[in-house]
């Protein structure tokens, strides 16, 4: 439907700015949604196409951390407004969230019509929203979300009835809700490669290694860090499940360590690696790849890098954990 390659950088395409909709709340003035060449999806399913060099960068600031809602609407956008969706097909979205957490939902306007996919379907019709938000956790990698439109559970948005009717509608909005436990206020979210069809098989992400910091003149870290806890959970997106590991890093005086990069390895249902940076509470949530119908997700911390500290695995309260989904 759109890969944002045909536009000049700095223009609106598909989506209006977060603050455009009157339904948006808790967002400071000055939010934007503009085509950018800062980053681009690098895990696109090779069967779909080749990676490009542009994406849609959405930037905003919550007025209060952990509180707010964004209706990222397509309402009469200058480029590709109100794009038609075939309601018998799923919708693939690639995204990258360098910091913070959000819950993602899809809104569809029941316009009727006959397509084609991506054409302007207008702004008349009731609106339905996916009932089960997808938790998006910060990562240095691009992530893939698939909305299985014919099989999703729907809820009413303002005028709807909680049932998705008809053969055609429009992508009315992507909705983002702040996560109450997330202290992040400034957000940058990159969106790319919106496609309709069957579920894709994205490429594995290869995280960029964190450069080794240049030693200070003393060259001696001031203490040690260790894993205080690993809390496992999982999330569901359509028929797919992924594992979540919330890792808690402390130092040898018992303090929470902010800014530590945690590296982990997943085995079992969705093998792979992931990494993330701890927040002020010393915690970071890492996510596995996705597995249709779920399974057992095994996770182990492989390294922790924190400026001024050395990682002492022997002090760990936990190094590995697992969870079975569903």
Looking at the DSSP assignment, which residues form a beta bridge with residue 84?
170
Confidence class of residue 205 from pLDDT cuts 50, 70 and 90?
Answer: confident
CATH 2.60.40 domain position(s) in the chain? 223-325
E-only strand ranges, the chain: 32-36, 55-61, 69-73, 84-86, 90-96, 101-110, 126-130, 134-137, 143-147, 154-156, 168-178, 186-197, 223-237, 240-251, 261-268, 272-277, 283-292, 295-305, 309-311, 320-325
Confidence class of residue 211 from pLDDT cuts 50, 70 and 90?
Answer: low
What average pLDDT does range 160-176 have in this prediction?
A: 97
Please state the pTM of the whole predicted model. Answer: 0.66
What average pLDDT does range 97-111 have in this prediction?
A: 97
CATH, domain range 18-197: 2.60.120.260
CATH 2.60.120.260 domain position(s) in the chain? 18-197
Q: What integer pLDDT is reported at residue 208 of this predicted model? A: 55
What average pLDDT does range 152-165 have in this prediction?
A: 94
Helices and strands, counts by H and E, the chain: 0, 20
**SS3 (DSSP) at 318:** coil
User: In this predicted model, what pLDDT tens digit does every residue of 239-264 receive, in sequence order?
Assistant: 889 999 999 999 999 999 999 999 99
Q: What integer pLDDT is reported at residue 243 of this predicted model? A: 93
User: In this predicted model, what pLDDT tens digit does every residue of 76-93 receive, in sequence order?
Assistant: 999 999 999 999 999 999
Contacts of 59 (CB under 8 A, 6+ apart): 31, 32, 33, 187, 188, 189
CA distance 266 to 277: 17
CATH, domain range 223-325: 2.60.40
pLDDT averaged over the chain? 93
pLDDT at 290 over 80: yes
Q: What integer pLDDT is reported at residue 212 of this predicted model? A: 56
């Amino acid at each position: 439907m759109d890969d944002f390659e045909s536009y000049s950088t700095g223009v609106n395409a598909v989506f209006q700015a977060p603050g455009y909709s009157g339904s948006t709340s808790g967002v400071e003035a000055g939010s934007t949604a503009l085509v950018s060449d800062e980053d681009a999806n690098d895990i696109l399913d090779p069967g779909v196409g080749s990676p490009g060099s542009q994406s849609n960068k959405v930037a905003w600031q919550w007025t209060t951390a952990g509180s707010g809602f964004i209706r990222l609407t397509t309402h009469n956008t200058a480029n590709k407004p109100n794009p038609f969706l075939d309601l018998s097909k799923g919708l693939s979205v690639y995204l990258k969230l360098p910091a913070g957490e959000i819950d993602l939902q899809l809104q569809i306007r029941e316009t009727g019509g006959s397509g084609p996919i991506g054409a302007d379907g207008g702004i008349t019709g009731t609106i339905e929203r996916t009932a089960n938000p997808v938790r998006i956790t910060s990562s240095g990698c691009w992530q893939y979300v698939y909305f299985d439109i014919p099989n999703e559970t729907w809820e009413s948005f303002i005028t709807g009835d909680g049932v998705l009717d008809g053969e055609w509608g429009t992508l009315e909005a992507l909705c983002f809700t702040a996560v109450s436990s997330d202290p992040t206020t400034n957000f940058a979210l990159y969106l790319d490669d919106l496609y309709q069809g069957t579920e894709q098989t994205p490429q594995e992400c290869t995280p960029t290694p964190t450069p080794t910091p240049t030693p200070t003149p003393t060259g001696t870290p001031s203490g040690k860090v260790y894993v205080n806890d690993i809390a496992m959970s999982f999330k569901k997106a359509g028929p797919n499940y992924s594992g979540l590991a919330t890792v808690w890093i402390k130092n040898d005086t018992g303090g929470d360590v902010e800014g530590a990069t945690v590296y982990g390895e997943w085995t079992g249902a969705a093998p792979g690696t992931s990494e993330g940076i701890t927040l002020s509470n010393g915690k970071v949530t890492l996510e596995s790849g996705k597995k249709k119908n779920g399974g057992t997700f095994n996770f182990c911390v492989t390294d922790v890098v924190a400026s001024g500290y050395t990682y002492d695995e022997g002090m760990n309260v936990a190094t590995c954990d697992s969870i079975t989904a569903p």
